[in-house]
Structure 1
């Protein structure tokens, strides 16, 4: 099996076939590198599993416990952000903390990484990469001291981005959830460069806009009512430096596996790995043996397993008990971590230290299918297709402490997997005020790109027509709505036009999809989305191993090391 990519010192560089023309970081070294960087941005950008960083960095810090107080002044250099803004907050002592891990080859100050990091990655230098949030984890710490949970969001889920991320286009726009940060960063940097001359100030101002956009996108993805109390942003270099501080770390693999692109070369079973091997462990998403069926979601489960392994090491060895090691970790934090301005690090450590001893349940949210869809630039890319109604139900259940799955009641029929990248323009010919807008919203939740809701003269019956490239989505949607899809040369490519007549405005599938008007005292019959299957054990093997699309869970605690693919 061959993979396209460049090479460094005779070894393949890890390309990211599902990440094309992503937002450049436009920072780092002198302008003499800019031309080469711009040329590189036109190519497929490399993924660096980069960001596992995120929770592993936090896990290291929580393990320091009481020792943190003696070094409180040392955290004064950690980047503080006010990007979180207003919104729902948890009640009582509970906390929801968003972990964002960036793939940027720069530190939090916008400086290039140490050469040893680039050498360990063999994936390019500071001229490569963008500000993608390649690790997104919502950490829920209950106020009653019960077991914590972490929800991993697959980075390639195709979603509607925050308006600030729609660079060069109109809002709403869709792309992979990880790109919200980078697109907003690029747009802000271009705009703010006219008024901010200091490079460091410009970098930080642009990053603030990236954080705001990513957080807003995630809030919408999770269901808007899920509180986000704090966030921690960690850059790529932190993971390598933390792994160096606590190596060796014990991990476990269900199968013998190797991969030249990530540098992975692991035996089956339990084994100790150093910092460079840890980079390969969390980055691997392929193996020449196609029967192993590696995907990006398996890499997410690898990241979770490593977090558990790291907690196990901290609990068993006291690896960060020495003042010198702690000082090194604090230096990592100052250079490579940003936190919201209301997060009390000492209080956070006191709350989160229970993760090391009490354990944590980690979920990886499911995807419905894989497909292709245009990104913000209009370039076609490989994406994860998700059922937003299902995601909202799963997250709600996890946050409530009941755990998934449970049936979720919604006014929308089941989602349309082929909807990604297809725009639906709804024309209201029924005379019912607001019907087209409600349908556009409901169709966006089913995976379609919202079009422009309009009204037209009254007509009795409804119709659905489509342009080139939209046949599969149109046929599936028409079936759900009790209509017949017809091709039309008048429709633009990848576009559907739905005209709603009076006969379907008050009853039937179209009325059920739209739901009642906000001021209506009556309600349409709701349909119940079939619940997802129970979570699959992320450590299971053989026929029981998690499929790429499964909701999976991992029971992590400091008493053992989970074995994963």
Structure 2
């Protein structure tokens, strides 16, 4: 056979020859495809992992913590003997920064506009929320502020003034002193974050039996069912002139109603089906949330939230601390006895709250 007659070498022949010289077995098309897929998956996993790490860090850095043990010392009520939990929840109104545009009137400093003790009995399948009226006259204990200075004790001060004068740790100390109930955790959400959270979940549905028209808060609702956006929700929980006798007592019922509706809405969200929406909700919540130091991480907060999955917001018992109008200043209220003591004792012992302890002489009309 002449040189001209020699068959032309194919690309496959050259590849087989090269593989033979190197001692490697020939690679099939299937092996090449699998190799490409493998490297593609590695890149995707690394990209997703990097994004997940960034998202986690971003949400985690949003959280702020208060070390209650350091701020309050050892002179505190004993922890419950059961696995029940008590959480002090505050809604703050600083009227500063983002909150300034949401405020009504000129109010200096920060105030605790909403305060409630959330009691979750052993088993964590139900909960009781006890609202403390902001106009309640209390005895404020001696407190240490965040800058290290001391606030002296005082009698007959308005409950919501404690926050503005001495900060959230002093509010916890005041509640523990007046109730004898140890607060296992503390959570505070500011008004601007509250608005963003409601908008992030797409609004909250409430039903009112009577029309509400309040020029001070801007709330204007007809009787019936309404889906409120963030701005409307703020007006709903802050309105006082449009309900009852215009006092703080009248709006507590609206605040409790809204809280249950908000928790129910969050629980119904398809968080797994919409990662983008889930992140938006988490970002809104963590950006405006201050907790005790034990909960001030995304993992701790998530673990605590999962432990409460058995609580059905629809079965939550919402009551107001029993109060009576003060005999010296009828514009203020004081804890009504013996109802208040009976209520706090039931929470301390993690037992059922008697119906008599839920009735308040002052109702706000």
TM superposition score normalised by structure 1? 0.48
Q: Deviations over 1:210-268 (max 9, x none)?
A: 2222111111111x2x1211111222211111111123321111111201111111111
Cα separation, 2, equivalents of 1:155 and 1:165? 21
Q: Deviations over 1:85-110 (max 9, x none)?
A: 4432234432111112211124xxxx
Cα separation, 2, equivalents of 1:305 and 1:394? 21
Shift of 1:69: 12
Specify whether residues 212 and 405 from structure 1 end up closer, same or farther in structure 2 by C-alpha distance, changes over 3 A only: same
Q: Tell me which residue corresponds to 1:173.
A: 155
Specify whether residues 70 and 389 from structure 1 end up closer, same or farther in structure 2 by C-alpha distance, changes over 3 A only: farther
Specify whether residues 212 and 311 from structure 1 end up closer, same or farther in structure 2 by C-alpha distance, changes over 3 A only: closer
Indicate the larger mover: 164-173 or 305-314.
164-173
| 1:24-43 matches, cutoff 5 A | none
Q: Deviations over 1:17-38 (max 9, x none)?
A: xxxxxxxxxxxxxxxxxxxxxx
Contact 1:246 1:319 in 2 (8 A): no
Q: Which runs of 5+ in 2 are unaligned?
A: 1-51
**2:311 match: secondary structure:** helix
Specify whether residues 371 and 260 from structure 1 end up closer, same or farther in structure 2 by C-alpha distance, changes over 3 A only: farther
Q: Tell me which residue corresponds to 2:308.
A: 352
Contact 1:103 1:129 in 2 (8 A): no
Shift of 1:328: 2.4
Specify whether residues 96 and 320 from structure 1 end up closer, same or farther in structure 2 by C-alpha distance, changes over 3 A only: farther
Q: Which runs of 5+ in 1 are unaligned?
A: 1-67, 107-111, 185-209, 374-380, 407-531, 537-545, 551-565
Shift of 1:304: 0.8
Larger radius of gyration: 2
Cα separation, 1, equivalents of 2:337 and 2:138? 9
Specify whether residues 164 and 359 from structure 1 end up closer, same or farther in structure 2 by C-alpha distance, changes over 3 A only: same
Contact 1:314 1:356 in 2 (8 A): no
Q: Deviations over 1:142-200 (max 9, x none)?
A: 2323321111111111011122389999644330112112222xxxxxxxxxxxxxxxx
Contact 2:93 2:112 in 1 (8 A): yes
Q: Tell me which residue corresponds to 2:274.
A: 322
Residue from 386, 403, 410 that aligns with 2:353: 403
Q: Tell me which residue corresponds to 2:219.
A: 264
Contact 2:246 2:364 in 1 (8 A): no
Q: Deviations over 1:409-457 (max 9, x none)?
A: xxxxxxxxxxxxxxxxxxxxxxxxxxxxxxxxxxxxxxxxxxxxxxxxx
Looking at secondary structure, tell me which structure has more helix per residue. 2
Is it true that 1:298 corresponds to 2:255 in the alignment? no
Q: Tell me which residue corresponds to 2:21.
A: none
Greater relative contact order (CA < 8 Å, ≥ 6 in sequence): 2
Is it true that 1:97 corresponds to 2:87 in the alignment? yes
Shift of 1:319: 6.6
Residue from 152, 158, 161 that aligns with 2:131: 152
Q: Deviations over 1:36-95 (max 9, x none)?
A: xxxxxxxxxxxxxxxxxxxxxxxxxxxxxxxx9996543243112112444322344321
Shift of 1:382: 3.6
Shift of 1:350: 0.9
Contact 2:143 2:170 in 1 (8 A): yes
Q: Tell me which residue corresponds to 2:4.
A: none
Q: Deviations over 1:447-471 (max 9, x none)?
A: xxxxxxxxxxxxxxxxxxxxxxxxx
Residue from 365, 381, 384 that aligns with 2:333: 384
Contact 2:245 2:364 in 1 (8 A): no
Is it true that 1:282 corresponds to 2:282 in the alignment? no
Q: Tell me which residue corresponds to 2:37.
A: none
Q: Tell me which residue corresponds to 1:216.
A: 173
Is it true that 1:82 corresponds to 2:67 in the alignment? yes
Q: Tell me which residue corresponds to 1:240.
A: 195
**2:186 match: secondary structure:** strand
Cα separation, 2, equivalents of 1:179 and 1:118? 19
Q: Tell me which residue corresponds to 1:308.
A: 260
TM superposition score normalised by structure 2? 0.72
Q: Tell me which residue corresponds to 2:112.
A: 133
| Count of equivalent residues | 300
Cα separation, 1, equivalents of 2:90 and 2:263? 19
**1:307 match: secondary structure:** helix
Q: Deviations over 1:526-561 (max 9, x none)?
A: xxxxxx5x648xxxxxxxxx96269xxxxxxxxxxx
